[in-house]
Amino acid sequence: MSTNKNISLFGNIKSDLPASVVVFFVALPLCLGIALASGAPLFSGLIAGIVGGIVVGSLSGSQIGVSGPAAGLAAIVLTAIGTLGGYENFLVAVVLGGIIQLGFGLLKAGIIGYYFPSSVIKGMLTGIGIIIILKQIPHFFGYDSDPEGDFAFFQVDGNNTFSEIFKMFSHISLGPTIIAIIGLGIILFWDNYLSKKAKIFKIIQGPLVAVVLGILFYNFTKGNSALEIIPAHLVSVPVPSDFSSFLSQFSFPNFAAITRPEVWVTAFTIALVASLETLLCVEATDKLDPEKRITPTNRELLAQGTGNILSGLIGGLPITQVIVRSSANIQSGGKTKISAIIHGFLLLISVLLIPGLLNMIPLSVLAAILLLVGYKLAKPGLFKVMYDLGWKQFTPFIVTVLGIILTDLLIGIGLGLMVGIVIILIKSYQNSHFLHMEDKSNGRHKIKMTLAEEVTFINKGAILKELNQLPEDTLLELDVRKTRYLDNDIVEILEDFVERARNKNIDVTLISERGTIVNPDSYINFFQLRPVA
């Protein structure tokens, strides 16, 4: 059930429209870059961005989430296009993946999204923020060997995240660097000073001004050998000569391939990975949302499934909700889903009407915008906050951060989850019982063992260890009054302990809600008489 506040969509247009422009500038290079990294037609990334904004944005219950092509799927797409024998065959898998996602939504699989630990989600946001910064540094200085949107540690250009930065020092371009520094300065000045002086500076956002100056810089420095920005350092949107050539950029699935098993395997892979990425992003964006609204996850899966069906039918890449664009939306003041929808229309209108103007935007200026998005996600103070919460919170957090930086998004999150589960198991092992030892009474040890509310097979080792270490001539009080669930494995341990207790002259008093039993003949019989929940 959604707990979204009833907010008038167009009642926040003054906030949503400027935010949509910022999201548009963030999404544009990512849509193109992810398509390039995926080995797909460039236009396919724009299709996914348009469908993700307009269609998924309209159907989604998220007010601030933005959907589009995801970097986490780039490697899957690249491999699948080759394996399936062409892009049209791959599109069949995208459509089928969308249908499978609809099934996930109808089966209420979205509930999985509520079970990601907070420490892992915070680690995910921080890790993505750091990886954005690391990946944008080369673009900021005019080294654009690796496409935008390649967020994996091992890059498609043959380098990794760190070697790319070192290699950048030999390929710094003066023009892109200068306009990137100017753009970054403008955005910082706008955010920290001008936006607080007048409302007009909130409506017209700093990133828009930086992009406009970037276009002017490109045009004024043409022919200047020192400052000129060459096409390799600019946005590269396909430019159709007329409307018919624009339509020719759309691709359509080859449904003759639907009977091939590998198509279905790819479809299920896309559905599973896209759903997991979406649910993780939903959880993260809900944490970032200043209004603290909760997105209905099952509805989100239905929206994403619908978007992927449509995207696949017209030649687009797979779609997920994506944290980079969503966080840019939140940071720019987006209030409702209108922001995501408008950003989709901006993508559509701009690639249809002004692709030539878009191709004058320096990538380094867009890198400046993304650098600030990354910094706001990965503020240094968060590390101290997580550290102060203790090792049980900090360990999964830092493992997730390092995992994302050194591998990719899903592997990093998977590592963080595994560490979190191990910590839960350790604490569960430790907290299965409380042991209180008293002084010797009449020459005999008196020990009280209180079992926890829930005792499972995970606690088997800890309890067995304590029972085995009891000395001879001991008075043991076993208190199960608070226990509501007792695994059969534990009952069997207690049953096996009956004979050993007699041999070691250990007297056991079993304290329960039903009363007290001294030296019970059978624990199994006792717990069969008193069913435990």
Q: What is the pLDDT of residue 517?
A: 72
**CA gap 468, 447 in Å, rounded:** 13
DSSP helix, strand, coil percent of the chain (3-state; round to 5) = 65, 10, 25
Residue 525 has pLDDT above 60, yes or no: no
Phi–psi pair at 205, nearest 5 degrees: -85, 150
Q: What is the pLDDT of residue 523?
A: 62
**Residue in this structure with the two tokens 């997730």, named with its chain if needed:** 400
Phi–psi pair at 362, nearest 5 degrees: -70, 135
The SS3 assignment for 225 reads coil
96-100, 283-287, 361-365, 525-529: lowest mean pLDDT where?
A: 525-529
Q: Which tokens is 87 given?
A: 């892009």
Q: What is the pLDDT of residue 166?
A: 95
Please report, rounded to a whole number, the percentage of residues in the chain having pLDDT higher than 90: 62
Residue 149 has pLDDT above 50, yes or no: yes
Compute CA 99 distance to the chain's CA centroid, rounded to the nearest angstrom.
22
Q: What is the pLDDT of residue 323?
A: 92
Residue 168 has pLDDT above 50, yes or no: yes
Q: What is the pLDDT of residue 2?
A: 43
Locate all alpha helices (DSSP H) within 193-260, ordered by sequence. 200-203, 206-220, 243-247
Beta-bridge partners for 311: none
Residue 172 has pLDDT above 70, yes or no: yes
**Residues 448, 477 contacting (CB under 8 angstroms):** yes
Q: For 338-373, how does the pLDDT look when each residue is reduced to its tens digit (9 = 90+)?
A: 999 999 999 999 999 999 999 999 999 999 999 999
Q: What is the pLDDT of residue 270?
A: 96
Residue 446 has pLDDT above 60, yes or no: yes
Q: What is the pLDDT of residue 6?
A: 45
Residue 434 has pLDDT above 80, yes or no: no
Q: Which tokens is 369 given?
A: 């915008």
Q: What is the pLDDT of residue 515?
A: 66
Among 289, 277, 238, 215, CA closest to 19:
289
Residue 315 pLDDT grade (very low, low, confident, very high; cuts 50, 70, 90): very high
Residue 484 pLDDT grade (very low, low, confident, very high; cuts 50, 70, 90): confident
Mean pLDDT for the stretch of residues 450-459: 78
Q: What's the 3-state SS for 405-439?
A: HHCCHHHHHHHHHHHHHHHHHHHHHHCCEEEEEEE
Torsion sign, CA atoms 505, 510, 515, 519? negative
The SS3 assignment for 137 reads helix
**CA gap 240, 71 in Å, rounded:** 26
Q: What is the pLDDT of residue 3?
A: 44
- Please spell the DSSP secondary structure of 172-196, one letter per residue: --HHHHHHHHHHHHHHHHHHHTGGG
Domains of the chain: 15-150+157-379 (no CATH), 431-529 (3.30.750.24)
Mean pLDDT for the stretch of residues 454-466: 78
Report the amino acid identity of residue 200: I
**CA gap 448, 186 in Å, rounded:** 69
Going by C-beta distance under 8 Å and a sequence separation of 6 or more, which residues neighbour residue 195?
201, 202, 206
* Burial zone of 438 (CB within 10 Å; 0-12 exposed, 13-18 middle, 19+ buried): exposed
Report the amino acid identity of residue 365: V
- Structure-derived torsion over alpha carbons of residues 416, 135, 81, 86, reported in degrees to the nearest 10: 160
Residue 474 pLDDT grade (very low, low, confident, very high; cuts 50, 70, 90): confident
Residue 62 has pLDDT above 90, yes or no: yes
CA distances to 447, 479, 481, 520 from 516, rounded to whole Å, are: 16, 9, 10, 10
Mean pLDDT for the stretch of residues 15-25: 94
The SS3 assignment for 531 reads coil
The answer to pTM > 0.85 is no
50-59, 77-86, 347-356, 458-467: lowest mean pLDDT where?
A: 458-467
Report the amino acid identity of residue 149: G
Q: For 222-276, how does the pLDDT look when each residue is reduced to its tens digit (9 = 90+)?
A: 999 899 999 999 999 999 888 888 888 999 999 999 999 999 999 999 999 999 9
Q: For 380-401, how does the pLDDT look when each residue is reduced to its tens digit (9 = 90+)?
A: 999 999 999 888 889 999 999 9
The SS3 assignment for 455 reads strand
**From its phi and psi, is residue 39 left (phi > 0), alpha (psi between -120 and 50) or beta?**
left
Please report, rounded to a whole number, the percentage of residues in the chain having pLDDT higher than 70: 92
* Burial zone of 103 (CB within 10 Å; 0-12 exposed, 13-18 middle, 19+ buried): middle
From edge to edge, which strands make up the β-sheet containing 474-479? Answer: 433-441, 444-451, 474-479, 507-512, 515-518
Among 330, 298, 305, CA closest to 319:
305
Instruction: Name the DSSP class of 450.
Output: E
Q: For 25-43, how does the pLDDT look when each residue is reduced to its tens digit (9 = 90+)?
A: 999 999 999 999 999 999 9
Q: Helices (H), strands (E): how many in the chain?
A: 23, 9
Average pLDDT in the chain: 88
Residue 440 pLDDT grade (very low, low, confident, very high; cuts 50, 70, 90): low
Q: For 251, how many CA atoms within 13 A lie in the half-sphere containing its CB?
A: 25
Locate all alpha helices (DSSP H) within 291-408, ordered by sequence. 297-313, 323-331, 338-353, 355-358, 363-377, 381-388, 391-406
**CA gap 351, 29 in Å, rounded:** 12
Q: What is the pLDDT of residue 319?
A: 97
Residue 453 has pLDDT above 80, yes or no: no
Residue 509 has pLDDT above 60, yes or no: yes
Q: For 245-257, how does the pLDDT look when each residue is reduced to its tens digit (9 = 90+)?
A: 888 899 999 999 9
